[in-house]
Amino acid sequence: MLRSLLTNPMALPVVFPLLAGLVCLLLPNAASRLRVWLAALAAIVVLAFVWPLFQQAGQTWNPLPWLTLRTDLLSVFILLGVAFFGLVVAVYSVGYMKDRPHQRAYFTYLLWTLGISCGVVLANDLLILLVCWGFLALILYLMAGLSGPGAAEAARKSLMIIGGSDALMLLGILIYWHLAGTTRMDGAALALDGPLAYMAFLTLLAGAFAKAGAVPFHSWVPSFGEKVDAPVSAFLPASLDKLLGIYLLTRLVLDLFIPTPGMYGMLMLLGAVTVIAAVLMALVQHDLKRLLSFHAVSQVGYMILGIGTGTAIGLAGGLFHMLNNTVYKSALFLGAGMVEKQTGTTDLDRLGGLAKLMPVTFIVCTIAALSISGIPPLNGFASKWMIYQGIISSGDNGSFAWVLWLAVAMLGSALTLASFVKVLHATFLCKPSVEIRQMEISEKKGSMLLPMIVLALLCVVFGVYAFQVPLGFLIFPVVAVTVPGVWWSGLATVLILLAVIVGIGLYWLTMRGGKLRRMRTYIGGEQMQDVYLSNDEPGPLRHVEVTGVDFYDTIEQVPGLHRYYALMKDRVFDIYEFLKRSADYFVQMLRALHTGILPSYLRWFVAGLLLVVWVVTMEGR
C-alpha cells in the first residue's frame, strides 16, 4: 500500500507535494532560499507528474475499498490547470516572499494546497472529495492568517462560508448516498425526481458556488482579496478555487445529476445576477485588490451562465472561460502584488503614473484587463463569444429568457471594461501621486516578472489561436461541439491590428498638423484650480488632483443604482452578515432567558420533568 502510494502515477501528484511541503516545513529558517527554490522545483515536478495523466485520461486506481481515484477528460484538464497555476504562483512567490515573514508556513501551505487540490480532482468518491475540500478550506484559512492580524476577519469569513458549505455538502453527499446507493462518482447520474434529490443537488451546488465565489456565497472573495497577500489571492480565489468550484459544478450537471430545465434556468439566473451585482461593486472600489476580487466574483457568473445554458457550446464556453479567467485574473493579481511590493499600497487614490516606472507590469495588466473585458482578439473575448452562442442556443426550446441573459452578459462586459479603464488610468496612466513621486520604484525581480509575462502571452495565444490551442487540446476533448457562430480569430486579429495601426497613424497625423488645443482640466464645467485645499480630516494640506477614481464615485449617485449601493454598503446581500444578524436575534433572546437566577432554572427543570414523565408513561395508559 505504502509502496504503491509512492509509485502509482495517480497518487504521485497528491503525495509528492504533500511530502515536499513537509520537507519545507522541516527545513530550518536558515535554509530559506533553499526552501523557496525547492518549492518552485516541486511545483515543476508536479506538473511533470500530471502531464502523463493528461495524455492518457481514463485511468482508475482502486487500492482500497474506500479509496478510488479516476481520471477522465474533464479531470485531467482541471488537473493540468491546477498544476500549471501552482507552478506560476510558486515561481512568482520566489521573488515576492523574499524578505517577508512566515516563509516556512507559506511554502508548506502552498505545496499542500497543490497536492490536495490534485486529490480533489482525482477523487472518484464524493466523500474523498469532501475530505480534501475541507482540508483545502483549512489551509486557505491558515494561508490568510499569514497576512497578519489585519486579515483575521477576512480569514474567519472565508472559512465560515467555505466550511459552512462543507457541512451542506456533507448533507448532500449523504442524501446522494442514500438515493444512489453509492458515493462513487462514475455511477449513473441521478434524476432530479423528488425533494430529496433536489436537496442533494442544491446543497452540493452550494459547495461549488461557495468555492468558486458565486452569488449568494461570494462575499468571502472581496474580503479575502483585499486583506490577504496578492499571490495567495492569485493562487486561491482567482485560480485554484475557480478551477475546483467549476469542476464540481460541471461534475454535478454532467455526471452526478440530470438537471431539469428549471434548475438550468436557476443556474442562469444566479449566473446573471453574479455578473451584474459584482461588476457594479467593482466599479466603485478604491482598492485595487478589492476591485479585482469583485471581478473574480463577476467572472464566475459568466462560467455559470455558460454551464447553465445546458448546451454543449455553452458548457465548452464556460469551461474555456474558467481557464481564461484563471489566466488573466492571476496575471492581474500578480500585477497588483508587484504594485504593492514596490509601492506598499494598493489604494487607487494613492497610486498613479506607474506606466513609466513599471512598464512590464503595465503591459501585462493592460493585456489582462483588455482580456477580462472581452476585447477581441484576446482570450476573454473568445470564451465570452462561445458563452453568448450558448445563451442564444438555449432559446431553442422556445423561451425568450435568453434575450435577457444575453443583454446582462453584454452589459456586464461593458461595465467590466469601464472599471478596468479606471484601474489602468488610476494605477498606471494618471499623474503620479505625491507619495509615488517620492519613491524609488523599479521592477527588478525576474522571478516575479516571468510568470506575469507568461500569463500575458497566454492571454494572447489563447485568444488568437483559440481553436488550435486551448479549445482543441483542452476543452473539445471534454465537450465535443461544433461552433455555430462565425468567428475567425485570425482574420479578426489582422483587422484589429490594422485598425490600431490606422488609429496610430491618424493620431500622428493630427499631432503633426498642430491642430491641437491644450486646455486646463475641467471638472463639472468648472476649471480645475491648481490650489491646495484643506482635507476633511485633520492633517497637512492636500493637493487637489484628479485621481481617476473620483469620477466613478458619481455612479453611486445614479438614481436607480443609489439604492443598490446603499444596500450593499449595509451588507444586506452578504449571506455571512445576513445569517449572523438573524442568528444574533435568537442568541439575544436565549441569553435573556439565562438570567442566572436559580428559581427560574428550577422551574425549567420541573417543567421538563413533567413533560418527560408524561411522554414516557403515555404508553402505559
Pick from 199, 254, 312, 363 the residue near another protein by CB under 8 A: 199
Considering beta carbons, is residue 128 or 479 the nearer one to another protein?
128
181 is an interface residue for another protein by CB under 8 A: no
Helix (H) or strand (E) run with residue 533 in it: strand 532-533
Which residues, 74 to 133, sit near another protein by CB under 8 A?
Answer: 127, 130-133
Q: Which span sits near another protein by CB under 8 A: 7-15, 227-235, 444-452, 585-593?
A: 585-593
145 binds another protein (CB under 8 A): yes
With contacts defined by CB under 8 A, name the span among 11-19, 308-316, 402-410, 606-614 that binds another protein: 606-614
Choice between 181 and 525, CB closer to another protein: 181
Which class for 617: exposed (0-12), middle (13-18), buried (19 or more C-beta within 10 A)? exposed
- Decide if residue 439 touches another protein (CB under 8 A): no
* 2 contributes a contact to another protein by CB under 8 A: no
Contacts for 519-527: CB closer than 8 Å, 24+ residues apart: 521/546
Place of cell 499542500: 112
Does 149 participate in binding another protein (rule CB under 8 A)? Answer: yes
Q: How far is CA 516 from the centre of its chain?
A: 44
How many other C-beta atoms are found inside a 10 Å radius of the C-beta of residue 135? 18
Task: Select from 31-39, 135-143, 362-370, 526-534 the region that touches another protein (CB under 8 A).
Answer: 135-143
Q: Strand pairing partners for 191?
A: 258
Q: Which residues of 257-280 are buried (b: 16+ CB within 10 A; e: fewer)?
A: bbbbeebbbebbbbbbbbbbbbbb
The smaller minimum CB distance to another protein, of residues 132 and 475, is found at 132
Smallest distance, another protein to C-beta of residue 100, A: 16
Burial 93-108 (b: 16+ CB within 10 A, else e): bbbbbeeeebbbebbb
The interface mask with another protein, positions 26-65, x = CB under 8 A, is: ----------------------------------------
Is position 519 an interface residue for another protein (rule: CB under 8 A)?
no
Smaller CB distance to another protein: residue 37 or 605? 605
CA-to-CA distance for 304 and 307, rounded, in angstroms?
A: 5
Torsion sign (Cα): 33, 34, 37, 39:
negative
The single residue among 63, 134, 187, 395 that binds another protein, judged by CB under 8 A, is 134
- Dist CA 232 CA 147 (whole Å): 9
Interface with another protein includes 587 (CB under 8 A)? yes
Helix or strand holding residue 365 (H, E): helix 359-372
Q: Is the dihedral of CA 351, 354, 358, 364 positive or negative?
A: positive
Residue 152 vs 566, nearer CB to another protein: 152
Q: Which is nearer to another protein, 486 or 615 (CB)?
A: 615
Q: What minimum distance in Å lies between the beta carbon of 620 and another protein?
A: 4
Which residue's C-alpha cell is 463569444? Answer: 385
Question: 163, 265, 353, 477: which one contacts another protein (CB under 8 A)?
Answer: 163
Classify residue 282 by burial, with Cβ atoms within 10 Å: 0-12, 13-18, 19+. buried
Binding site for another protein (CB under 8 A): 66, 127, 130-135, 137-138, 145, 149-150, 152-153, 155-156, 159-160, 163-164, 166-168, 170-171, 174-175, 177-178, 196, 199, 580, 583-584, 586-588, 590-591, 594, 596, 598, 601-602, 604-605, 607-609, 612-613, 615-621
